A and B are shown apart, each in its own frame.
Chain A
Amino acid sequence: MPVERLLPTPESRDLIALVRDIADAELAPRADAAESSGEYPRELLRLLGRSGVLGLPYDEDFGGGGQPFQVYLQVIEELAARWATVGLSVSVHTLSCWPLVAVGTDEQRKRWLPDMIGGELLGAYCLSEPHAGSDAAALSTRAVRVGDDYVLKGTKAWITHGGLADFYTVFARTSDDGPRGISCFLVPADAAGLSFGTPEKKMGFTGSPTTLVHFDDVRLPAERRIGDEGAGFGLALQALDSGRLGVAAGATGLAQSALDVAVAYAKQREQFGQPIITHQGLGFLLADMAAAVEASRATYLVAAQRRDLGMSYRHQASVAKLIATDAAMKVTTDAVQVLGGSGYTRDYPVERYFREAKVMQIFEGTNQIQRLVIARSLERSE
């Protein structure tokens, strides 16, 4: 049964229907095989771009969908419910476009955004480094101004779409002034000096590559700097607030799918002469899973609605990321339990969901960092 959604407009209902159509026909049937073979569905991202799904929260002037964040996130949830890799891929791509949308010049936007939002140019977001993960402000990749150019040197880590993306949104140090010394750059994939590590051998999300990205004196014209020099870290944090909501929505979709599989199985699997869902011990387990999924959705939607209303939402974004990804871990773990031995095999998708859920507690700010953000916001509150 499709999730009954609270959507603000008739057009958003049409959008969700379109996304479901595409996700059911194009994503769901391919997910298992592609996750096994590690083949990234690049063509599907183009299809999503052509269908208008890659720039939903951005202005129609830039080729975007002009949709409120609460609608965009529900699209991510629908995609992730069919194929988590694609849901997160869209979230990462949207995040990679964000600095250009937010502070790019008209000329920069006109030049790059249509192809980014249209799905022809796939993005990657390069903030983390081998020694600057949770402490992102400690990043050491340098961008040195040389005449009309910048020269980038350093290594980024854990980059989704590494080696596959057409552009890299890179945060690099233009001065030693701590967080105020960081600037944002748009690096094309064919830049000389750009290279990639071997894809990480991951527990899940095997359908998309995650790599180191090396910048070995990559020379960029200054027109590829996005926003002012030194404004990068603020941009990175704002992008992360939105990105965390993307992860929360993706985690909710994943958990919803795990719940759906578990409920369907528990209805048809009989033990002691009756469907196992009617055994109270199992029924209560499913009830807790359903409650966790619905709480996740409600939590990310509240944060998104605050964003849509122009209210601060950093605290709520961290709450949503924490709640939804912890819930996804619990729900997918319990889904394996509901399916018993079958759940532990690759004949059913729940063992994959379980592996995919784990990283959601880690990326886009570990859940420990989310707690730190929340605790600091409590500390500062009046």
Chain B
Amino acid sequence: MKIVALVKHVPDAAADRTFNEADHTTDRTNVDGILSELDEYAVEAALKIAESGDAEVVALTMGPDAALDAVKRALQMGADSGAHVADDALHGSDAVATSAVLAAAIQKIGDVDLILTGMASTDGGMSVVPAMLAERLGLAHVGFVGELNVEAGSVRARRDADVTETVEAALPAIVSVTDQINEPRYPSFKGIMAAKKKPVETWSLADLGVDAGTVGLAAAWTTVETVTKRPERTQGEIVTDEGDGGAKLVEFLAGQKFV
């Protein structure tokens, strides 16, 4: 069985994230990048399946050179190999283009039984790439999965959407997992050492047969026109309890229309 885990390299959500002034794309230079935390759940889910049976795990990313770090982290956690789509023309690609490129990469990897993704990226946060990929590859898509079992030729998944439902899908399939599915492992020191020797392929758009004119900022269906910085957090209001603390709190909440 071959599993592809999609891993995205994103600006650390704990840092102060900004946009490039020139084209309003995500600033990836002035902030530390990490493997999107939500994708760690996908990697962990893939590794768990691989450990309980016979499966190989390929970590796939698309992004600038630094995005290789996301693949590296997945390899350190235990994935078997990596693939990195890197091409200057990809800068500013929207979700539609991203899904086209990833679909081409998955086809190049070949014979893939299961594609696992996080429920969203922690930077874009649109949650649309898995469904778009499924459409492009003609595969079943199960989103927001909190529990996953692989059986012969199919997956059974608990989907935690507005209602909780158990869904079965034939393989090959695309499953996006939530942060409820598992507790991602830390890499081990041995895993870090072993990762250095694992194979990683780097592909350009030409390698994948994707026309550079269909991706990137110019081909994007949406454009970010302006960016407004989140307002500074203002000093909160401190209520001193002089015997009437409760009443004052209610008064404050009523003033904000919370009660």
Asked if B180 is an interface residue, CB under 8 A from chain A, the answer is no
* B192 touches which of A15, A22, A50, A56 (Cβ 8 Å): A15
Are the CB atoms of B186 and A15 closer together than 8 Å?
no
Which residue of the partner chain B has the closest CB to A51? B188
Asked if A65 is an interface residue, CB under 8 A from chain B, the answer is yes
Asked if A227 is an interface residue, CB under 8 A from chain B, the answer is no
Asked if A263 is an interface residue, CB under 8 A from chain B, the answer is no
Instruction: Chain B residues near A52: list those with CB within 8 A.
Output: 188-191
**How far, in Å, is B34 (CB) from chain A's closest CB?**
10
Asked if B193 is an interface residue, CB under 8 A from chain A, the answer is yes
Are the CB atoms of A47 and B193 closer together than 8 Å?
no
Instruction: Chain A residues near B185: list those with CB within 8 A.
Output: 50
Asked if A222 is an interface residue, CB under 8 A from chain B, the answer is no
**How many angstroms between the C-alpha atoms of A65 and B193 in the bound complex?**
10
**How many angstroms between the C-alpha atoms of A134 and B259 in the bound complex?**
67
Q: Identify which of residues 181-216 in chain B touch chain A, using a CB-to-CB cut-off of 8 Å.
A: 185-193
Among B186, B189, B190, B191, the one with the most A-chain Cβ atoms within 10 Å of its Cβ is B189
**How many angstroms between the C-alpha atoms of A52 and B193 in the bound complex?**
11
Instruction: Chain B residues near A18: list those with CB within 8 A.
Output: 186-187, 189, 192
**How far, in Å, is B187 (CB) from chain A's closest CB?**
6
Asked if A21 is an interface residue, CB under 8 A from chain B, the answer is yes
* A11 touches which of B186, B187, B188, B192 (Cβ 8 Å): B192
Query: Could you tell me the dominant secondary structure of chain A's interface residues?
Result: helix
Instruction: Chain B residues near A11: list those with CB within 8 A.
Output: 192-193
Instruction: Chain A residues near B192: list those with CB within 8 A.
Output: 11, 14-15, 18
Asked if A53 is an interface residue, CB under 8 A from chain B, the answer is yes
**How far, in Å, is A138 (CB) from chain B's closest CB?**
40
Are the CB atoms of B189 and A21 closer together than 8 Å?
no
Which residue of the partner chain B has the closest CB to A10? B196
Which residue of the partner chain B has the closest CB to A52? B189
**How many angstroms between the C-alpha atoms of A11 and B187 in the bound complex?**
13
Instruction: Chain A residues near B190: list those with CB within 8 A.
Output: 52
**How many angstroms between the C-alpha atoms of A213 and B62 in the bound complex?**
58
Instruction: Chain A residues near B187: list those with CB within 8 A.
Output: 18, 51
Instruction: Chain A residues near B191: list those with CB within 8 A.
Output: 52
**How many angstroms between the C-alpha atoms of A22 and B76 in the bound complex?**
14
**How far, in Å, is A21 (CB) from chain B's closest CB?**
7
Are the CB atoms of A65 and B189 closer together than 8 Å?
yes
**How many angstroms between the C-alpha atoms of A22 and B187 in the bound complex?**
10
Instruction: Chain B residues near A22: list those with CB within 8 A.
Output: 186
Instruction: Chain A residues near B189: list those with CB within 8 A.
Output: 14-15, 18, 51-53, 56, 65
Binary contact readout B126-140 vs A (1 if CB under 8 angstroms, 0 otherwise): 000000000000000
**How many angstroms between the C-alpha atoms of A53 and B186 in the bound complex?**
12
Instruction: Chain B residues near A21: list those with CB within 8 A.
Output: 186
**How many angstroms between the C-alpha atoms of A22 and B188 in the bound complex?**
10
Q: Identify which of residues 310-334 in chain A touch chain B, using a CB-to-CB cut-off of 8 Å.
A: none
**How far, in Å, is B52 (CB) from chain A's closest CB?**
18
**How many angstroms between the C-alpha atoms of A176 and B44 in the bound complex?**
57
Q: Identify which of residues 1-20 in chain A touch chain B, using a CB-to-CB cut-off of 8 Å.
A: 11, 14-15, 18
Instruction: Chain B residues near A15: list those with CB within 8 A.
Output: 189, 192
Q: Identify which of residues 40-78 in chain A touch chain B, using a CB-to-CB cut-off of 8 Å.
A: 47, 50-53, 56, 65
Which residue of the partner chain A has the closest CB to B72? A14
**How many angstroms between the C-alpha atoms of A56 and B189 in the bound complex?**
9
**How many angstroms between the C-alpha atoms of A57 and B190 in the bound complex?**
14
Instruction: Chain B residues near A14: list those with CB within 8 A.
Output: 189, 192
**How far, in Å, is B75 (CB) from chain A's closest CB?**
12
Instruction: Chain A residues near B186: list those with CB within 8 A.
Output: 18, 21-22, 47, 50-51
Which residue of the partner chain A has the closest CB to B185? A50
Instruction: Chain B residues near A65: list those with CB within 8 A.
Output: 189
Which residue of the partner chain A has the closest CB to B191? A52
Which residue of the partner chain A has the closest CB to B187? A18
Are the CB atoms of A50 and B193 closer together than 8 Å?
no
Which residue of the partner chain B has the closest CB to A65? B189
Binary contact readout A173-205 vs B (1 if CB under 8 angstroms, 0 otherwise): 000000000000000000000000000000000
**How far, in Å, is A126 (CB) from chain B's closest CB?**
29
**How many angstroms between the C-alpha atoms of A56 and B190 in the bound complex?**
11
**How many angstroms between the C-alpha atoms of A47 and B188 in the bound complex?**
9
Q: Which residues of A contact B (CB under 8 A)?
A: 11, 14-15, 18, 21-22, 47, 50-53, 56, 65
The 9 A-B pairs of least Cβ separation, nearest first, read A52-B189, A52-B188, A14-B192, A51-B188, A52-B190, A51-B186, A65-B189, A15-B189, A22-B186
- Taking A11-B193, A51-B186 as given, write out 14 further A-B residue pairs in contact, using a Cβ cutoff of 8 Å, ordered by the A residue number: A14-B189, A15-B189, A15-B192, A18-B192, A21-B186, A22-B186, A50-B185, A51-B187, A51-B188, A52-B189, A52-B191, A53-B189, A56-B189, A65-B189
A and B contact pairs by CB, cutoff 8 A, 27 listed: A11-B192, A11-B193, A14-B189, A14-B192, A15-B189, A15-B192, A18-B186, A18-B187, A18-B189, A18-B192, A21-B186, A22-B186, A47-B186, A50-B185, A50-B186, A50-B188, A51-B186, A51-B187, A51-B188, A51-B189, A52-B188, A52-B189, A52-B190, A52-B191, A53-B189, A56-B189, A65-B189
